Amino acid sequence: MGPAEPVAQSRTRLVLLAGFGGLLALMAVGGFDAIQVLRQIQSRNVQIRQVFLTRNRALEHIRSSLYLSGTVVRDYLLDPELAGAADELGRLRTLRSEMASAMDAYGRSLTAGEAEPVQALQAGLTAYWDGLEPALRWSPQQRRRQGYAFVQRVLLPRRAAVLDLADRIAALNEKELNGGDERLEEMFGRFRRRLLVMLAATLSMGLVLAAVAASHILRLERQSAARYQLVMRAQNELKELSARLVKAQEEERRAISRELHDEVGQSLSALLMELGNLAAVVPRNLEPLQRHLESIRKLAESSVQVARNMSLLLRPSMLDDFGLVPALEWQARESSKRTGMAVSVEADEVSDNLPDDHNTCVYRVVQEALHNCARHAQAHSVRIRVRQTSRHILLSIQDDGRGFDARRVRGLGLVGMEERVQHLGGSFQVKSEPGRGTVLEVELPVPKELAAERAPEVQNA
Amino acid sequence: MPETATRPIRILLADDHTVMRNGLRLLLERQPNLEVVGEASDGRETVRLAESVAPDVVVLDIAMPNLNGIEAARQITASRPEAAIVILSMHSDESYVIRALKAGARAYLLKDSAEGDLIAAIHAISEGKSFFSPAISRILVEDYMRQLEQKHVEDTYELLTAREREILQLLAEGKTNKEVAAVLNLSVYTVETHRTHILQKLNLHNVPELILYAVRKGIIT
């Protein structure tokens, strides 16, 4: 893939990171904000109730003090023989100062609409007390004379007026409470809207993120699929290449083997022939010349041997001339001669007309296996069986060597054998255990046209 | 060697290698009673010449273009059974020897020992005998001995009676049932029965295999 790919990838990763981070931050901020707002609303609510209650209490206080003061004044005026008149006066003073302080407390936190009625109340109260003041200084006679009339004409109306004012303020206070509730409601409304906006923002951002992430994942998937294809293709190409290499090597061996056998061998044989002809015409008594001729002959003879052996070892001509079984039999004899192992070949209905690839495959597998038997397994005897059925060539190579752990050991040329077999679509199996010998089994599919014309002849070793 | 031969032995040489063919001709023509009557450089030409020049002996290379020597031997044996065939080859493996024998050849020589063996081989087969290069015989005998040793099998030769061994040798030398009957003073029918027994006991299927067996056992060389 191009160099732009990693850049695009890292950009996508950045976008995703930022997106998820932003989303989380948004949710955190939203949550925090909601908690703050809720707390604010709650404290506001408590505050409003508290103010209302305080004021209400103050008004109640004023009201009850007013009633009490009325009662005290009436008692004072209408009962001139009262023993504790001085006490009554003292109580009145206390009530007045209490009302004044209540009034003060109320007057401290006022909204615009309240100032006027509160002032009026203040003024009413002042007027109330000021109106009472002269009567309080009356003598008992004065009180007896004018007391009742004062109560009826001055005290009661003034008290009623003040009470009326207090009622008005109470109503205002109530209104204020209701107003506070409305403001709270409004705050809730704003909070709800903010929450909705936040939710919408989070949702849409989440959707966008999901889309980006999904497309990113899809792209990654496509890329990995493409890469997998690439790897598979490379692997197949590698297999193909290795098979071609094996084939090329085989061709080379065949060519060199033929060349050695047909050209070098033939020429040396012709040379031997000519040497014989030459020796026949050289007089017997020319001993040094005869000796030279003899040594040349020996040299040529051993060269023919070398050429013949090399040719056979590279690729036995029987494989191409007569087919698989004679080549296997030669290999068995050869291996037996070299290593001392008893090697037997049992062939059953094997066509001498198998495709070249099949011949070569079986031959090379057997060759490698025999090599292993002698070199690693230290076998005494090896049994090679080849059988051709309607669809397969079955090969088994069994030795009585020391065996190995077939599950662990790979190597011993087994991989190469397996590759050869698999390239022809066959199966390859190794059964071995330490101390129990080894059985190699190969099953090669045979082309259809050949399966029909199996050689009826039974080959004998 | 037949000193009394009045007519020289007529020989057809077949080899695609010219130098080889020339060397062979030189070798053969030094002999007083051998005559090279034709040369061929491929299998088909050999078969054609074998018809037209009527040789007594055909000296055949195996590796030849168009038609290989073994196929040529088979065709010549079919069309002119009286022509004796000597195979002259680079191949020393028994798979070539047995195929040559089955194709009708009676002598098998290695090319590198042709110079020493060819004359003897030609005289042997023109007398109806078989002939193998000593190198070939040695290989065959050695292989056989090793096989007996390694497989610890019973030597089937031990199963044959003295009369059967006599007949085995005569057959392996190339004699027909009739000739064997004449030599041993038996009826042809008796010889045929013996032959069947011999092949059965030795687990052989035909005369070429019997000849190969005889070579391996060292009964003939």
Nearest CA distance, B176 vs chain A (angstrom): 25
Whether residue B31 is found in the same domain as residue B83: yes
Residue B4 domain-assigned?
Answer: no
Structurally, chain B folds into a number of domains equal to 2
Q: Does A276 sit within 8 Å of B90, measured CB to CB?
A: no
Is residue B37 situated within a structural domain? yes
| Of residues A266, A280, A312, nearest to B30 (C-beta) | A280
pLDDT of residue A188: 87
Closest-CA distance, A280 to chain B, in angstroms, reads 9
Instruction: Find out whether A380 and A341 touch, Cβ atoms under 8 Å.
Output: yes
State the residue range of the domain holding B197. 154-217
Which CATH number fits the domain that encloses residue B170? 1.10.10.10
d(CA A10, CA A6): 6
A330 CB neighbours in chain B (<8 A) are 93, 95
Chain A interface, Cβ < 8 Å to B: 261-262, 265-270, 272-277, 280, 300-301, 304, 308, 312, 316-318, 321-322, 326, 329-330, 333, 336-337, 340-342, 344, 381, 460
CB-closest option in A308, A337, A381 to B90:
A308
The CA distance from A102 to A365, in Å, is 117
**So what's the pLDDT on residue A64?**
85
What token pair was written down for A461?
A: 């070793």
Residues B83, B20 within the same domain: yes
Whether B145 is in a domain gets the answer: no
Inter-chain residue contact B20 with A301, CB threshold 8 Å:
no
CA–CA separation, A228 and A235 (whole Å): 10
Within 8 A of A460 by CB-CB distance, chain B residues are 205, 209
- Range B152-180 average pLDDT: 83
Please give the distance of CA B151 from its chain centroid, rounded to a whole number: 29
Which helix (H) or strand (E) segment holds residue A118: the answer is helix A112-136
Q: Answer yes or no: is B144 within a domain.
A: no
Residues B18 and B121 in one domain: yes
- For residue B159, the model assigns a pLDDT of 82
Same domain, B122 and B176: no
> Which residue, of B105, B135, B165, is where some domain finishes?
B135
How close does chain B come to A274, measured CA to CA in Å? 6
Domain boundary among B75, B102, B135: B135
Cβ–Cβ under 8 Å, residues A379 and A401:
yes
- B88 and B167 in a single domain? The answer is no
Is it the case that residue B128 has pLDDT exceeding 50? yes
Does the beta-carbon distance from A270 to B20 stay under 8 Å?
yes
Specify the pLDDT at position A1.
46
Residues A402 and A435: their CA atoms lie apart, in Å, by 4
* Helix B69-79 with B43-52: angle, nearest 10 deg: 20
By the 10 Å C-beta count (0-12 exposed, 13-18 middle, 19+ buried), A416 is classed as: middle
With CB atoms and an 8 Å threshold, state whether A261 touches B95: no
Q: Which of B103, B135, B167 is the last residue of a domain?
A: B135
Over chain A (461 residues), the average pLDDT of each successive run of 10 is 62 82 87 88 87 83 82 76 72 82 75 77 82 79 80 82 82 82 86 88 89 89 94 91 90 93 89 88 86 91 92 91 91 90 88 87 93 85 91 92 76 82 90 87 84 45 34
- Mutation choice for A interface testing from B13, B90, B140 by most A CBs within 10 A: B90
The reply to whether B102 falls in a domain is: yes
Same domain? For B88 and B185 the reply is no
User: For residue A282, what is the DSSP state?
Assistant: S
Predicted local confidence at residue A450, as pLDDT: 62
Is the domain of B125 the same as that of B188?
no
* Same structural domain, B64 and B161: no
Residue B85, strand partner residues? B58
Q: Which residues are CB-neighbours of A134 under 8 A, at least 6 positions away? A: none
B93 and B193 together in one domain: no
Q: Does residue B141 sit within a domain?
A: no
Please name which of A151, A167, A213 lies closest in space to residue A18, comparing C-alpha atoms.
A213
My answer on whether B100 and B161 are in the same domain is: no
pLDDT at residue number A454: 47
Residue B212 lies in a domain: yes
- Has residue B149 been placed in a domain? no
Residue with tokens 């070249």: A356
Measured between alpha carbons, how far is A255 from A248 in angstroms, rounded to an integer? 10
Q: Cα(B14)–Cα(A205) distance, rounded to whole angstroms?
A: 95
Q: What's the rounded mean pLDDT across residues B165-180?
A: 87
Query: Which pLDDT score is estimated for A155?
Result: 80
Q: What is the mean pLDDT of residues B4-32?
A: 87
Q: Do residues B118 and B26 lie in contact, with contact meaning Cβ atoms separated by under 8 Å?
A: no
Tokens of A59: 């008004």
- Domains of chain A (ranges; CATH) run 4-217 (1.20.120.1730), 319-452 (3.30.565.10)
Which residues from chain A sit within 8 angstroms of residue B96, using beta carbons? 318, 321
**A133: alpha, beta or left? (left if phi > 0; alpha if psi -120 to 50):** alpha
Q: What is the CATH number of the domain that holds B51?
A: 3.40.50.2300
B127 lies in the same domain as B159 = no
Give chain A's radius of gyration (CA, Å). 62
Contact A304 B26 (CB under 8 A): no
Strands A438-445 and B9-14: unpaired
In B, what residues contact A, Cβ < 8 A?
17, 19-20, 23-24, 26-27, 30, 63, 68, 90-93, 95-96, 99, 111-112, 114-116, 142-143, 146-147, 150-151, 205, 209
Structure tokens at A36: 């703050």
Write out chain B residues lying below 8 Å of A312, CB-based: 93
Across the interface, do A275 and B111 touch by the CB < 8 Å criterion?
no
H helices within chain B, ranges in order? 18-29, 43-52, 69-79, 94-102, 114-126, 134-151, 162-172, 177-184, 188-202, 207-217
So what's the pLDDT on residue A232? 94
Question: B23 and A277: CB-CB below 8 Å?
Answer: yes
Name the minimum distance, in Å, from the CA of B24 to any CA of chain A: 7
Contacts of A372 (CB under 8 A, 6+ apart): A412, A413, A438
CB-nearest to A336 from B20, B115, B150 is B150
pLDDT at B153 over 90: no
Q: DSSP secondary structure string, B108-159?
A: EEEGGGHHHHHHHHHHHHHTT--EE-HHHHHHHHHHHHHHHHHHT---GGGG
pLDDT for B16 beyond 50: yes
Classify residue B85 by burial, with Cβ atoms within 10 Å: 0-12, 13-18, 19+: buried
| Shortest Cα distance, chain B CAs vs residue A240, angstroms | 34
Strand partners of residue B57: B11, B84
Task: Quickly count: other Cβ atoms within 10 Å of residue B212's Cβ.
Answer: 22
**What pLDDT score was predicted for residue A5?**
62
- A269·B112 Cβ contact <8 A: yes
Same domain, B93 and B161: no
CA distances from B110 to A59, A198, B74, B153, B186 (A): 145, 103, 19, 31, 37
